Amino acid sequence: MPRALTPGETADPYCLRDGEAAALLAGHPWQRFAVLGDSIAEGLGEPSPGYPDEPWADRIAAELAALRPGFAFHNFGYRNTRSEQVRTEQLDEARAFGPDLALVACGGYNLLARSYDADAVEADLRAIVEGLQAGGATVITVSMFDGSNSPAVPEEFRPALRTRLHDLADRTQRMAAQLGTVQVSLIGHPASKEADLYSADGRHGTRRSHAIAAAETIRGLGARLRGEQS
């Protein structure tokens, strides 16, 4: 059964409309969905009034499962996990699961460190994506919302965080074009500057951000199915 929209989603111009997911994903071929990454992939987030307390990957999986009997989903994502750990600790497990669809969301935890190495993160992302593709998976890559807009981020830290986030987004976008992933670009999303998108910890999103991220991912998958993405 399709998911019922909540009042918050119904009023939110960036969320899915009633029946939109089912129309976009109709006839989709995917049977096994894996998610890899850090806390963003795991789905940490604060509740938002009017929105379900449900992580974005779970929402995506529910919409896919509603159209595909026997659909399987496993989330390997875990908080405080660096991209190199995703590569060495999650990739083999995910490949053993045998996904034909995979979402990769990592690098965000790396960029919080003083020792952040953008080239190394990019190399890890590429290896993860290529490893999943070698197993036959369609891969979704993501550029995160611009968390430097979070009210919880001290003003003096905003410029450096913004630079790192946008650089990672640019690198991910280029890699996506080269490798043919379904790229979900949230960094420049119109809602990215809205305070209620961000949790009080300054590092994660609220459930509104998860609802929007799920909507954009489902729209990206729909575009792939219609041949609008190469």
State pLDDT tens for residues 76-131: 999 999 999 999 999 999 999 999 999 999 999 999 999 999 999 999 999 999 99
pLDDT in tens, 17-58: 999 999 999 999 999 999 999 999 999 999 999 999 999 999
Of all helices (H) and strands (E), which one includes residue 207? helix 207-225
Closest CA to 208 of 57, 46, 75: 46
Tokens encoding 11: 């009023």
Give the C-alpha distances (Å, rounded to integers) separating 141 from 44, 45, 71, 101, 155: 18, 20, 21, 11, 29
- Counting every residue, how long is the chain? 230
3-state SS, residue 47: coil
pLDDT at residue 228, as a whole number: 61
Q: What percent of the chain is predicted at pLDDT more than 70?
A: 97
Buried b vs exposed e over 51-63: b needs ≥16 C-beta within 10 Å? Answer: bbebbbbbbbbbb
Return the ∠ at Cα 101 (arms to 25 and 183), rounded to 5°.
75
**Global pTM value:** 0.95
Residue 147 has pLDDT above 60, yes or no: yes
Q: Where are the domains of the chain?
A: 7-225
Residue 229 has pLDDT above 50, yes or no: no
Q: Which residues contact 123 (CB under 8 A, 6 or more apart)?
A: none
> What top-level class would CATH report for the domain 7-225?
alpha beta
Residues 172, 183 contacting (CB under 8 angstroms): yes
* pLDDT surpasses 50 at 230: no
